[in-house]
Amino acid sequence: MSSYAHHTTGEPVADTKAPQGPIAERWDRRRFEAKLVNPANRRKHTVIVVGTGLAGGSAGATLAEQGYRVVQFCFSDSPRRAHSIAAQGGINAAKNYRNDGDSVHRLFYDTVKGGDFRARESNVHRLAQISVEIIDQCVAQGVPFAREYGGLLDTRSFGGVQVSRTFYARGQTGQQLLLGAYQALSRQIAAGNVEMHARTEMLDLIVVDGVARGIVARDLITGEISTHYADAVVLASGGYGNVFYLSTNAMNSNATAVWRAHRRGAYFANPCFTQIHPTCIPRTGDHQSKLTLMSESLRNDGRIWVPKAKGDTRPAADIPEAERDYYLERIYPSFGNLVPRDIASRAAKNVCDEGRGVGPGGQGVYLDFADAIRRMGRDKVAEKYGNLFDMYERITAENPYEVPMRIYPAVHYTMGGLWVDYDLQTTVPGLFAIGEANFSDHGANRLGASALMQGLADGYFVLPSTINDYLARHPHQDAVDDTHPEAAAAVREVRDCLAKLLSVDGDRTPDSFHREIGELMWEYCGMSRTEEGLRKALARIPEIREEFWHRIKVPGSGEEFNQSLEKANRIVDYLELAELMCLDALHRAESCGGHFREESQTPDGEAARRDEEFAYAAAWEYQGTGAAPVLHKEDLVFDYVHPTQRSYA
Amino acid sequence: MKLTLRVWRQRGADAPGHMASYEVDGISEDMSFLEMLDTLNEDLILRGEDPVAFDHDCREGICGACSLVINGDAHGPERTTTCQLHMRSFDDGDTIDVEPWRAAAFPVVKDLVVDRGAFDRIIQAGGYITAPTGSAPEAHATAVPKADADFAFEHAECIGCGACVAACPNGSAMLFTSAKVNHLGVLPQGSPERETRVLDMVARMDEEGFGGCTLTGECATACPKGIPLPSIAAMNKEWLRAVRKGPR
């Protein structure tokens, strides 16, 4: 019996594309079984790619290299600004250059376990296999990874693993990988193979006869609404962490593309699986517009601690060693400071809830480099983490070489997203989702340095192979244009929504609503969740939505550069998505990974999964604003990694 | 803190612009400069006025979107991006001028937002290594001396914000272009296209209407990522080398 009274459960959803057989052979088998498009015919196929981050940039470049006609969109002024650029720490790959026992199977195992057994085995294994090719590809493009004196690539360790498999470019790995993809994409733009639309935002999906055939987009400079048609549509529009208002996401990252695709029939899977990153700079006040991450790589050398005594307000330097609690090293001796993110975040919350937090409001813990500086010297620490230390000092006006950093968990990544099969196709034929936009390979918790791996695996290698099969089987003959009733309806709905936002002329700004829904979500659907809290949130969200449509104030018009209108239009989607996240969190009456239900914990306070009832991915089907969606379950089968209680002790 | 802002307002690319004065109050020194502008915009919206348009996204100094000239300096008084500039760098009662990047090659879109598409077109002209997906050799097939890898990284750090152009009295894009030329040129993977890259990128840079370089050094002083001024000299050397190598 489900605990939520109002949603209904429909037919199970199954991944019909993953081949059977030994897991290590499935990707080869799928690539062989997939139909191909003759190189001479590829230029007759148009593929729309929405987004230019690691997934979208690499997919657009690769599809164009293969000969497809690509039409690509980003809301920024340049494809180089996608938020993948902010990823700091690194990218995992099972190269085993360290000879430390790593292998494809170990990366696969670590990822399934790190995700708390809520990911699909065949996808994760493929990801681990492809990881090694990604490093080769990026090096060939000129990505300046860190190197040893012998000229070979350097690696470091990340949370939840005991090998050193993370490749990095100082604290700017995402930037360097993204610029690699951006440069490959630029080459294709110059060659005329990619038609790039910058400062253009997708506002709806055009579905004709049940098949994705195009999008409705808005030129953010002129406000012009345009339609674009294609043989397939790929969403690479990122995650939805900004529903929380304060997160490490960029200010303009948003859920509009995926949510509007969901409204057009694409199932949304595991929306409640949110990653709260343990090492972010604590907030300083109500003016805060976003939170800044401090890379997980810092946990290689930084030690996390709080005072043993409650309410100890002495400066860190005055607290003697014996009165400090290095709580991660104490509770999890084998992984120490490098436990997975969900565990590190909850542990930080627990010590702060006990009244042992540090800094203003007691919402912080120390990340201390004093030992590392003693051991390696200040110069070596600066070489490894210099830019992160500088960024910390700029924001907080404190020098982390002298005093420990203060950190606190913040929303960082969303494991949930559009449901996709092994081919990365959604439940709408012809609509694909890649990177953070899909519900992906991370289960209920993503390991550090795995987002870059997955984004590039999807974009460079998976999608360009699997989309061939779809295009070969659906050689569209009928052109669609604006006169088609389903296209016209999509355009009309987009125009109506924008007109309505401009016409309310109320007394509240878009930001005030964003902040309100964000605070509600952080309170009730954040680091720890209860049935009571989630029910409160579910009661409150429709009220906020109602108030939004009566009190929103958007100045200006729709026929100009209007950032308030862009923002308000994105909040419309957050106000629906938030409700689905809470419903998903409520129905999943177990704890797993980043989803912690207080009712379901072990005697030690760790997440207690309930595999008999919840070993499935929850794929939700839209039924209308405020109407309870239909749940479709995809049962997860574990043939290779036996689900156990995760132990990092 | 209470401040007076004088902000460049311009409705569109072809509209005339002017400096408009605004008072902002209750500003905390922990706010970033952009959060201070958020506060102004919240007030403007509630007063029924058009908020100030400005580019911004990651707000952690890496995407390169933010782009304000503050009191005459690109990205303001500290050597960082506008989003990482905090109000503790200012005093209560200050008057602060806020303007967009000024350069012929960066036309104003609205208020403080400019069009930096010219940068994308310089990269498209040759700022890449041709390595189609799937064609790569094993990553360790070619060792890269650490010094070269570090040199490449130092130049690859460019975020494409355009502060170098905004700071330059000539509106030159030499620092931006040289950063990419040097990043890729020093790597063994980038050497097959070493000559065409520098020639094509420089030609494109000139076509876009950027000014010439007279080595005033304002670019490197304004660069939030510390791309060094000798980068330009290194590109000039690369360009001469490519020209002397003869016709392609």
Q: What part of A 153-182 touches B (C-beta under 8 Å)?
A: 153, 169-170, 172, 175-176, 179, 182
* Pairing mode of beta strands A274-280, A303-307: unpaired
Q: CATH 1.10.1060.10 in chain B: give the residue spans.
A: 117-244
Quote the percentage of chain A above a pLDDT of 90.
91
In the block, residue with structure tokens 């089968």:
A637
Residue B42's pLDDT is 97
Q: Rounded to whole angstroms, what are the CA distances from A101 to A95, A164, B40?
A: 10, 9, 56
Considering only the beta carbons, identify the residue of B30, B45, B189 that sits closest to A142: B189
Interface of A with B in 453-512 (CB under 8 A): 460-461, 464, 507, 509-512
- Asked if B158 contacts B201 with a C-beta cutoff of 8 angstroms, the reply is no
DSSP assignment of chain B: --EEEEEEEESSTTS-EEEEEEEE-S--TTSBHHHHHHHHHHHHHHTTPPPPP---SSSSS-S----EEETTEET-SSSS-GGG-BGGGS-TT-EEEEEE---TTS-EEETTEE--HHHHHHHHTT-S----TT-PPPGGGS---HHHHHHHHHHHT-----HHHHH-TT-B-HHHHHHHHHHHHTSGGGGGGHHHHHHHHHHHHHHTT-B------HHHHH-TT---THHHHHHHHHHHHHHHT---
Q: Which domains are delineated in chain A? A: 26-35+47-276+413-473 (3.50.50.60), 278-411 (3.90.700.10), 485-623 (1.20.58.100)
CB contact under 8 A, A391 and B152: no
Task: Catalytic residue, from A118, A341, A597, A609: name it.
Answer: A341
B38 vs chain A: nearest CA distance in angstroms? 9
CATH 3.40.50.170 fits B3-110, yes or no: no
Candidates B35, B124, B133, B200, partner chain A, best to mutate (most A CBs within 10 A): B133
A454: closest CA of chain B, how far (Å): 16
**Contact between residue A463 and residue A188 where contact means Cβ atoms under 8 Å apart:** no
Q: Do B51 and A137 touch (CB under 8 A)?
A: no
Rounded CA separation B83/A88 (Å)? 17
Query: Can you give the pLDDT at residue B222?
Result: 98
Distance, in angstroms, between B124 CA and closest chain A CA?
Answer: 5
Asked whether the beta carbons of residue A292 and residue B48 sit closer than 8 angstroms, the reply is no
Nearest Cα of chain A lies from the Cα of B245 at a distance, in angstroms, of: 24
Spatial distance between the Cα atoms of A642 and A615, rounded to a whole number of angstroms: 12
Separation of alpha carbons A611 and A131, rounded Å: 29
The fold of the B117-244 domain, in CATH, is Fumarate Reductase Iron-sulfur Protein; Chain B, domain 2 (1.10.1060)
Cα–Cα nearest to B142, from A151, A132, A98:
A151
- Give chain B positions within 8 Å (CB) of A62: 132-133
State both tokens at B33: 């400069």
CB contact under 8 A, B160 and A80: yes
Contacts of A388 in chain B (CB under 8 A): none
CA-to-CA distance for A268 and A256, rounded, in angstroms?
13
Residue B80's identity, in one-letter code, is T
DSSP bridge pairs for A229: A214
Any CB–CB contact under 8 A between A360 and chain B? no
Burial state string for A306-335 with b = 16 or more CB within 10 A and e = fewer than 16:
bbeeeeeeeebeebeeeebbbbbeebbeeb
Tokens of B192: 């097959």
Contact flag A511-B38 (C-beta cutoff 8 Å): yes
Q: How far apart are CA A649 and CA A362, in angstroms?
A: 27
* Residue A439 DSSP symbol: -
Establish, for the pair of chains A and B, how many residue pairs have beta carbons separated by less than 8 Å: 216
Residue A194's DSSP bridge partners are: A70
Residues of B within 8 A of A464 (CB-CB) are: 133
Question: Do the beta carbons of residue A62 and residue A56 sit within 8 Å?
Answer: no
CB proximity A285 to B under 8 Å? yes
The ipTM, to two decimals, is 0.98
Chain A CB contacts of B30 under 8 Å are 284-285, 287
Give A207→chain B minimum CA distance, Å.
Answer: 31
- Dig out the tokens for A158 from the structure: 């990340």
Residues of chain B with CATH 3.10.20.30: 3-110
- What does DSSP say about strands A303-307 and A365-368: parallel, antiparallel, or unpaired? antiparallel
Chain B within 8 Å of A376 (Cβ-Cβ)? no
Token code pair at residue B136: 């790569």
The set of long-range contacts for A17-26, using a CB threshold of 8 Å and a minimum separation of 24, is A17/A421, A17/A422, A17/A423, A17/A425, A17/A466, A18/A120, A18/A122, A18/A123, A18/A421, A18/A422, A19/A122, A23/A108, A23/A121, A23/A122, A23/A125, A23/A639, A23/A640, A24/A104, A24/A105, A24/A125, A24/A129, A26/A122, A26/A125, A26/A126
Q: Is the minimum CB–CB distance between A135 and chain B shorter than 8 Å?
A: yes
**B200: nearest CA partner in chain A:** A190
Compute the nearest-CA separation of B49 from chain A (Å). Answer: 7
Residue stretches of chain A with pLDDT short of 70: 1-5
Sign of CA dihedral B142, B146, B148, B151: positive
Are A260 and A85 a contacting pair, CB within 8 Å?
no
How many Å lie between the alpha carbon of A27 and the closest alpha carbon of chain B? 15
| Cβ of residue A538 closer than 8 Å to a chain B Cβ | no
CB A47 within 8 A of CB A63: yes
Residues of A in contact with B42 (CB under 8 A): 509, 511-512
Residues 6+ apart with CB under 8 A from B246: none
| Residue B32 bridge partners (DSSP) | B86
- Taking the C-alpha atoms of residue A465 and residue A335, their distance in angstroms, rounded to an integer, is 37
Instruction: Give the pLDDT of residue A284.
Output: 86
Give the residue ranges of chain B where pLDDT is below 50: none
Question: From the list B38, B123, B136, which residue is nearest A289 (CB)?
Answer: B38
Residue of A nearest to B32 (CA): A395
Name residues whose C-beta falls within 8 Å of residue B233's C-beta, 6 or more positions apart in sequence.
Answer: none
Kindly identify which residue of chain B lies nearest to residue A507, measuring between CA atoms: B46
Report the residue of chain B nearest A388, measured CA to CA. Answer: B60
Report the residue from B12, B28, B153 with minimal CB separation from A170.
B153
Instruction: Give CA separation, A79 vs A51, A162, A537, B64, B139, in Å.
Output: 8, 36, 36, 11, 26
Shortest distance, CA B224 to any CA of chain A (angstroms): 12
Instruction: List the structure tokens of A607.
Output: 């997440």
A365 close to A546: Cβ distance less than 8 angstroms:
no
Calpha distance A567→A546 (Å, rounded): 18
CA B199 from chain center: how many Å?
A: 22
* Rounded-to-integer distance, Cα B176 and Cα B162, Å: 8
Contacts of A384 in chain B (CB under 8 A): none
Under an 8 A CB cutoff, do A142 and B183 touch? Answer: yes
List CB contacts (< 8 A) between A135 and chain B.
139
CB nearest B62 (choices: A86, A138, A151): A86
Tell me if residue A646 is catalytic.
Answer: no
Q: What pLDDT score does A3 carry?
A: 41
| Chain B residues with CB-CB distance to A190 below 8 A | 124-125
Give me the phi and psi of A634, to 5 degrees please. -110, 110
The DSSP code sequence of A348-395 is HHHHHHTT---SGGG--EEEE-HHHHHHH-HHHHHHHHHHHHHHHHHH
Task: Give the amino acid at A507.
Answer: D
Do residue B149 and residue A145 have CB atoms under 8 angstroms apart? yes
Query: Which residues in chain A are closer than 8 Å to B38, comparing Cβ atoms?
Result: 287, 289, 511
Contact A76 B88 (CB under 8 A): no
DSSP assignment of A567-627 equals HHHHHHHHHHHHHHHHHHHHH--S-BTTB-BTTSB-TTS-B---HHHH-EEEEEE--STTS
Q: Do A78 and B145 touch (CB under 8 A)?
A: no
Is the CB of A147 less than 8 angstroms away from the CB of B119? no
Three-state SS at A458:
helix
pTM value surpassing 0.90: yes
Q: Residue A462 carries which side chain, given as an amino acid letter? A: V
Report whether A287 contacts B32 (CB < 8 A): no
| Contact: A140, B135; criterion CB under 8 Å | yes
Residue A386, CA distances (Å) to A208, A294, A538, B172 in order = 52, 12, 44, 30
Structure-token match 């030499």, residue found: B174
Identify the CA nearest to B85 among candidates B36, B152, B19: B36
* Residue of A54, A75, A99, A139 to mutate, testing the B interface (most B Cβ within 10 Å of its Cβ): A139
| Tokens representing residue A480 in the block | 């669609």
Which of B49, B58, B113, B197 has the highest number of chain A CBs within 10 A, making it the mutation to test binding with A? B58
Please tell me which of the candidates A78, A139, A564 has its beta carbon nearest to residue B189. A139
Q: Rounded to the nearest 10 degrees, how much is the dihedral formed by the CA atoms of B195, B196, B199, B203?
A: -170
What local confidence, expressed as pLDDT, does residue A2 receive? 37
Residue A337 corresponds to which amino acid? N
Contacts (Cβ under 8 Å, ≥6 apart) of A420: A426, A432, A433, A438, A439, A440
Tokens of A435: 């990177």
